[in-house]
């Protein structure tokens, strides 16, 4: 269990903090100032913003960050003693008992995988490790190695016992990695705790791409305008430049793109997002995808899945699920300015 205390920083107006090289950042000129709590976890920095006079939130910030740290102790695949690591190294046919919240996170990951035709897949860890080594060596993996990693049984290789909250593997090739959903889940659990302790207005960030907004910025809460937190959506290739902004109220947001993690091999560009159908990095006209969802767990998962499935299928998913919004940034032939397509996000305003 981590006992690190969060750093506390006072941000005075004007407040415009770019905390992302590929995701989102709070935007705007505020007459009040915000408290900014932050702590390292899950390989990134988690942040909590609230009004300087918001005693309810500031008093329970420490415990909210402790919840995130405790989740890392259960979900990380980079620590040998976590529950997920134990599952990945358990004998086929044996079971690992999970706390109910983590058990249902795994179940929800399976549901999201089914909803996206397997494009969101928490069992592609072997494929990820293969391409991670490729990025280091700048060499493409052997076709036979890709085929072997791609032929994992996927979510069907996991067995769940609802009565005892246990999970097992029915094939040794299955390895779980919750990195594409863990940060969002951590934001949701931290927010649940804050709400239970009377916090009403705050903004939570998980790294550079996951965000959850509850209530309103203190200045917006006092105004007659629309409630929420104003969020800037950076240009996928020029992170200091905004492609648009929006008001986020009691919802979560996540962004995926291939513009910061990639390598070249023989003149070909390879990104870090992998298509489980082919075993290769995704190749389409999307530069970035930002998903708006009722919760951060779903936003995280769908941002990854939408980028992999491409614009047409992702747009159709949003049309069938109107509670899901998306902002697509698409490469236009022979043009440096991307095409922006917005679905189910009424508050979005273009700035390009």
pLDDT tens digits along 207-262: 888 999 999 998 876 677 789 999 999 888 887 889 999 999 999 999 998 767 77
Q: Is the pLDDT of residue 70 over 80?
A: yes
pLDDT interval class at 27 (50, 70, 90): very low
Measured distance CA(328)–CA(26) in Å, rounded: 19
Measured distance CA(330)–CA(307) in Å, rounded: 11
The C-alpha torsion from 140 through 145 and 151 to 154, rounded to 10°, is: -70
Tokens of 304: 């990854």
Residue 204, pLDDT score: 97
| Helix ranges, 55-167 (H) | 55-75, 83-88, 100-115, 125-137, 143-150
Domain boundaries defined on the chain? 83-169
pLDDT tens-digit readout, 107-131: 999 999 999 999 999 998 889 888 8
Q: What is the pTM of this model?
A: 0.89
pLDDT interval class at 5 (50, 70, 90): very low
**CATH 1.10.3980.10 is held by the domain 83-169:** yes
pLDDT tens-digit readout, 280-307: 999 899 999 999 999 999 999 999 999 9
Q: Which of 244, 266, 262 is CA-nearest to residue 253?
A: 244
């Amino acid at each position: 269990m981590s006992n690190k205390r969060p750093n506390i920083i006072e941000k005075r107006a004007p407040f415009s903090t770019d905390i992302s090289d590929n995701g989102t950042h709070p935007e705007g000129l505020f007459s009040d100032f915000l408290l900014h709590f932050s702590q390292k976890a899950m390989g990134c920095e988690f942040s909590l913003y609230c009004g300087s006079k918001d005693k309810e939130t500031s008093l329970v910030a420490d415990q909210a960050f402790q919840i995130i740290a405790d989740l890392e102790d259960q979900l990380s695949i980079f620590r040998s003693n976590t529950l997920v690591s134990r599952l990945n190294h358990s004998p086929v046919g044996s079971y690992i008992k999970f706390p109910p919240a983590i058990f249902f996170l795994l179940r929800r990951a399976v549901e999201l995988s089914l909803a996206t035709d397997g494009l969101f897949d928490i069992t592609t860890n072997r494929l990820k490790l293969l391409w991670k080594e490729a990025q280091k060596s700048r060499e493409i993996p052997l076709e036979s190695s890709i085929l072997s990693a791609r032929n994992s049984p996927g979510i069907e290789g996991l067995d769940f016992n609802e009565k005892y909250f246990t999970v097992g593997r029915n094939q040794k090739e299955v390895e779980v990695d919750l990195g594409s959903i863990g940060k969002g889940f951590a934001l949701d659990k931290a927010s649940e705790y804050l709400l239970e302790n009377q916090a009403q207005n705050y903004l939570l960030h998980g790294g550079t791409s996951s965000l959850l907004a509850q209530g309103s910025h203190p200045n917006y809460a006092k105004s007659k305008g629309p409630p929420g937190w104003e969020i800037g959506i950076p240009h996928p290739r020029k992170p200091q430049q905004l492609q648009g902004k929006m008001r986020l109220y009691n919802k979560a947001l996540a962004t995926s793109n291939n513009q910061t993690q990639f390598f070249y091999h023989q003149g070909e560009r390879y990104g870090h997002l992998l298509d489980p159908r082919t075993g290769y990095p995704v190749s389409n006209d999307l530069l970035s995808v930002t998903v708006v969802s009722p919760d951060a767990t779903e936003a995280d998962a769908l941002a990854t899945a939408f980028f992999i499935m491409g614009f047409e299928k992702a747009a159709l998913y949003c049309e069938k699920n109107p509670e899901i919004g998306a902002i697509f940034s698409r490469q236009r032939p022979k043009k440096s300015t991307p095409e922006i397509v917005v679905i189910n996000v009424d508050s979005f305003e273009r700035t390009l």
